[in-house]
């Protein structure tokens, strides 16, 4: 009978044991740990209200985001751990946000001091624009916002990645007619989020560029130009922007 080699633990066994231990730890760790960690790692920009469940699988009655001097509730948040992401050295979650007119989902991955969102799809009320900028609030924006991004990475004071934000069926509470549909191309930089605004169609043409920063809010400059047929009807809204130029356009200045 051949001699059998004694069983020895090797590094794959230790790794498997560590992963099992981590899985059990996350399954039993209360969600309140996330409620503590989130504002800590986002410099008090994001926090949870009434968390329930565990770090593995849980929910919060509210997700709050601070922009400039304002704090905005964004509905209830649900999260589910993605176990396979542990093999990449990161924690991964599938998160869903619902309520307050918001329907959003994304994959969140964090580890090694980096945080990123992938496969972001969100539908939001356009009224949120006014919550993050007093200048936009004068327009009383209405309609729906649609946000899409394949990847957004968040470092210390910087954002990397691109996203598209569309404002569909845009209206203003100061008028009784639709304005059009608009597209904002967003790109993360070491200073904040750069914005390029263009018009997809409608009675009011908007264009311009700007920068949004968590600390300072929105800075934007551009032009608003009415279609010839709708100029008279849009005059009340345009008067909020400023005096008309020779071609009928108005200069937009936000946060400056």
Q: What is the DSSP string of 154-167?
A: E-SS-EEEEEEEEE
The reply to whether 55 and 152 lie within a common domain is: no
CA distance 174 to 194: 28
Strand-pairing partners, residue 170, are 180
The answer to the question of residue 100 being in a domain is: no
The reply to whether 131 and 80 lie within a common domain is: no
The answer to the question of residue 7 being in a domain is: no
The reply to whether 81 and 199 lie within a common domain is: no
For residue 40, the enclosing domain spans 12-92
The reply to whether 30 and 138 lie within a common domain is: no
Provide the pLDDT for residue 94.
93
Strand-pairing partners, residue 57, are 80
For 191-205, give the secondary structure using H, E and C: CCEEEEEEEEEECEE
The reply to whether 79 and 140 lie within a common domain is: no
The answer to the question of residue 161 being in a domain is: yes
Our count of domains for the chain comes to 2
The answer to the question of residue 106 being in a domain is: no
The answer to the question of residue 101 being in a domain is: no
pLDDT tens digit sequence for 5-31: 555 655 554 555 565 556 555 666 778
Q: What would the two tokens of residue 253 be? A: 């200045």
3-state secondary structure of 57: strand
The answer to the question of residue 1 being in a domain is: no
The answer to the question of residue 44 being in a domain is: yes
Provide the pLDDT for residue 149.
96
**Chain-centroid distance, C-alpha 42:** 13
CA distance 79 to 58: 6
Provide the pLDDT for residue 17.
54
The reply to whether 160 and 253 lie within a common domain is: yes
The answer to the question of residue 83 being in a domain is: yes
205 Cβ neighbours under 8 A, 6+ residues apart: 180, 199, 223, 224, 225, 226, 227
Provide the pLDDT for residue 13.
47
The reply to whether 88 and 204 lie within a common domain is: no
The reply to whether 120 and 219 lie within a common domain is: yes
CB 198 within 8 A of CB 181: no
Helix (H) or strand (E) run with residue 151 in it = strand 141-154
Provide the pLDDT for residue 29.
75
CA distance 116 to 181: 29
The reply to whether 81 and 201 lie within a common domain is: no
3-state secondary structure of 214: coil
The reply to whether 236 and 191 lie within a common domain is: yes
The reply to whether 119 and 178 lie within a common domain is: yes
Per-residue pLDDT tens listing for the chain (256 residues): 455 555 565 555 455 556 555 655 566 677 887 778 777 767 777 888 888 888 878 899 888 887 656 677 888 999 998 887 777 777 788 999 998 889 999 998 877 667 889 999 999 999 888 877 777 888 889 999 999 999 998 877 678 999 999 999 999 888 777 889 999 999 998 878 999 999 999 888 999 999 988 777 788 999 998 887 667 778 878 887 877 787 778 888 887 6
Provide the pLDDT for residue 23.
58
The reply to whether 126 and 235 lie within a common domain is: yes
What is the pTM for the complete model shown? Answer: 0.80
CB 95 within 8 A of CB 106: yes
CA distance 129 to 179: 15
CA distance 14 to 58: 29
């Amino acid at each position: 009978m051949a001699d059998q080699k004694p069983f020895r633990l090797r590094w794959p066994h230790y790794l498997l044991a560590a992963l099992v231990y981590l899985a059990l730890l996350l399954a039993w760790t209360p969600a309140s740990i996330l409620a503590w960690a989130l504002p800590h790692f986002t410099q008090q920009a994001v926090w949870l209200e009434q968390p329930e469940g565990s770090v593995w699988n849980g929910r919060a009655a509210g997700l709050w985001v601070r922009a400039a001097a304002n704090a905005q509730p964004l509905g209830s948040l649900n999260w589910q751990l993605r176990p396979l992401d542990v093999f990449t050295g990161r924690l991964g979650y599938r998160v869903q946000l619902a309520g307050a007119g918001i329907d959003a989902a994304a994959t969140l991955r964090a580890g090694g001091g980096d945080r990123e969102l992938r496969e972001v799809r969100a539908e939001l009320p356009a009224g949120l624009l006014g919550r993050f900028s007093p200048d936009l609030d004068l327009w009383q924006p209405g309609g729906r916002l649609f946000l899409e991004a394949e990847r957004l990475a968040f470092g210390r004071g910087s954002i990397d990645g691109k996203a598209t934000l569309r404002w569909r069926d845009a209206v203003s509470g100061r008028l009784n007619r639709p304005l059009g549909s608009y597209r904002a191309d967003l790109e993360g930089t070491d200073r904040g989020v750069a914005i390029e605004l263009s018009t997809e169609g409608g009675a009011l043409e908007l264009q311009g560029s700007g920068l949004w920063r968590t600390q300072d809010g929105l800075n934007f400059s551009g032009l608003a130009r009415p279609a010839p047929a709708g100029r008279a009807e849009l005059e009340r809204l345009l008067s909020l922007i400023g005096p008309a130029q020779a071609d009928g356009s108005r200069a937009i200045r936000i946060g400056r």
